[in-house]
Amino acid sequence: MEYRQVQQIAKDTIKFAKKNINSGMNLLQVREMCEEKMLELGADSFWYYDIGAFVFAGDETTVSVSGEQHMCGFYFNEVSYDSNYQ
Q: Stretch 45-49: mean pLDDT, rounded? A: 78
In three-state secondary structure terms, 75 is strand
Q: What is the pLDDT of residue 53?
A: 76
CA distance 18 to 82: 9
CA distance 15 to 20: 9
Q: For 18-28, give one letter per residue: b (16+ CB within 10 A) or e.
A: eeebeeebebe
Q: Report H helices in 1-86.
A: 3-20, 27-40
pLDDT above 50: residue 83: no
What are the pLDDT digits (tens) for 50-73? 777 777 777 766 666 665 655 554
CA distance 15 to 17: 5
Return the higher-pLDDT residue of 85 and 24: 24
* Domain definitions of the chain by residue range: 3-62
